[in-house]
Amino acid sequence: MDQNSEDNQASFQSGFDKKVHPESLLSIVIPPDSLIKFKESYDEEALKWPSDLAITTDFQKFEQFVSSAHSLVRRWLPQDLIFRLESFMHDPNQPSAVVIRGLPIDDNLPPSTPEGHRHKNSSQQFMSETWLVGIARIVGQPFNYEFLAKAAGVAAEGMGLLIRQLYPMPEQEKLVSALGSREFLDFHMDGFQVLPQCYPNCLVFIGLRGDPSKVAKTLLCDFRELYSELNPDAIDILLREKITWKAPSLPGAAGFCKHILEGTEANPVINIYDENIGVSTTFDEVVGGSAAAVAAYRHAKEVARKVGVRREGVWLDAGDVLLVNQRRCAHGRRAFAAAYDGKDRWMQRVYVNEGAIWEPTGLVPWPIRALPFEFAHKVEA
Ligand SMILES: O=C(O)CCC(=O)C(=O)O
Ligand SMILES: [Fe+2]
């Protein structure tokens, strides 16, 4: 057992926040009447935004938008909700995920396709982006990874640098992917492989169009619930031994190594991933460690699937926002059938970090919000 392993075990057991936890998913419905005048105030703010917001690659220009979105959200969401969001990432008594339903988004939504999304932004329609970025800004600082912006099937420009568009794409139909559909997307944490200071501590999604069949739901697996169902022998091994991932498919990443179980007993972090995301490599080709550690990791993944799938999951309709605290739960998605008729499910997503990313003490110059992918863990001997 190396020194790191012992430290992990000691800190895990000494967690002092042994409070009763609230429900893991909180749902809040915004009364439509309270936002009747939102559009007027949005239109007034939008006049101040750069006219080339849809195509610019100048991050300085986004700051005007981020700041406006932030102030609009502060003005229009109920104060008690703002208060909750401000403590969402810090207070263990907050839920692990929150869904806020009923926000007004852009009228006459174009088809759920790359062309549709380009059309929406080139017509200066940024209402969904305003809620998404403004809410993310209450929780922390919104960002994206540059390689994801490039992989979205459209030019890496404009709002696409900051916001990921999620609609099923025919060419990814059979891939395990956020842009796939037929394959179950198993429980995972986004940014699994990045350096800790560049980790998306929170994910924020907004629905633009709900899956018409209502099958495509975001599934959540709360770590406290998962932990309570893990076999004690597996817990013991996962606290002592690290798992190694060889990640040939990850841009710039030779691989990385970490403990599956971190955090504290009261608030465990259980680092699970879907090793098939975006690739055709098998679990055995990717995951390394002692036979006992790999078996314990497989067990954690199986229990996560059982725990996560028995909950209903979250179906996001137009104007519904989902915040997921990645230190408290993993997420996945049910398999579904896409029609590619323009009416498929459409969501947008940003990542949130509380600020460790940026200079002067971080790694990236402010205000770049699309991070170059140079932050992967390397395999440790
Ligand atoms: O489609 C979903 O509900 C979740 C997709 C996903 O894992 C992600 O966007 O990070
Ligand atoms: Fe994900």
How far, in Å, from the CA of 330 to the mean position of ligand 2? Answer: 8
Question: Looking at the predicted structure, is the pLDDT value of residue 295 above 70?
Answer: yes
How far, in Å, from the CA of 332 to the mean position of ligand 2? Answer: 6
How far, in Å, from the CA of 290 to the mean position of ligand 1? Answer: 31
pLDDT for the residue 125: 94
Mutation test residue for ligand 1: of 349, 351, 352, the one with most atoms within 8 Å of CB? 349
How far, in Å, from the CA of 180 to the mean position of ligand 1? Answer: 10
> In this structure, are residues 361 and 257 in contact, taking their beta carbons and an 8 Å threshold?
no
Query: In this structure, which residue's CA is closest to atom 8 in ligand 1?
Result: 178
Task: Determine which of 63-67, 112-116, 229-233 has the lowest per-residue pLDDT on average.
Answer: 112-116
Evaluate: CB of 144 within 6 angstroms of ligand 1.
no
Helix extents (H) in the chain = 3-13, 38-46, 59-76, 79-87, 114-122, 127-139, 146-150, 223-228, 232-240, 283-286, 291-309
Domain 3-371 carries which CATH code? 3.60.130.10
**Atom from ligand 1 closest to the CA of residue 217:** 3
Evaluate: CB of 333 within 6 angstroms of ligand 1.
yes
pLDDT for the residue 4: 47
Task: Determine which of 65-69, 120-124, 290-294, 297-301 has the lowest per-residue pLDDT on average.
Answer: 120-124
**359 versus 217: which is more confidently predicted?**
217
Ligand nearest to the CA of 345: 1
Question: Looking at the predicted structure, is the pLDDT value of residue 373 above 80?
Answer: no
Q: Model confidence over 135-170: pLDDT tens digits? A: 999 999 999 998 888 765 666 788 889 999 999 999
How far, in Å, from the CA of 246 to the mean position of ligand 1? Answer: 23
Q: Are strands 185-188 and 329-333 parallel, antiparallel or unpaired?
A: antiparallel
Tell me how far apart the alpha carbons of residues 86 and 140 are, in angstroms, rounded to a whole number: 8
Question: Looking at the predicted structure, is the pLDDT value of residue 14 above 70?
Answer: no
**Atom from ligand 1 closest to the CA of residue 219:** 3
How far, in Å, from the CA of 285 to the mean position of ligand 2? Answer: 21
How far, in Å, from the CA of 178 to the mean position of ligand 2? Answer: 6
Give the chain's count of helices (H) and strands (E): 11, 16
Q: How far apart are the first and last CA of the chain?
A: 13
Ligand nearest to the CA of 220: 1
Question: Looking at the predicted structure, is the pLDDT value of residue 233 above 80?
Answer: yes
Ligand nearest to the CA of 166: 1
Q: Model confidence over 197-214: pLDDT tens digits? A: 889 999 999 999 999 999
Evaluate: CB of 185 within 6 angstroms of ligand 1.
yes
> What are the φ/ψ torsions at residue 188 (nearest 5 degrees)?
-160, 170
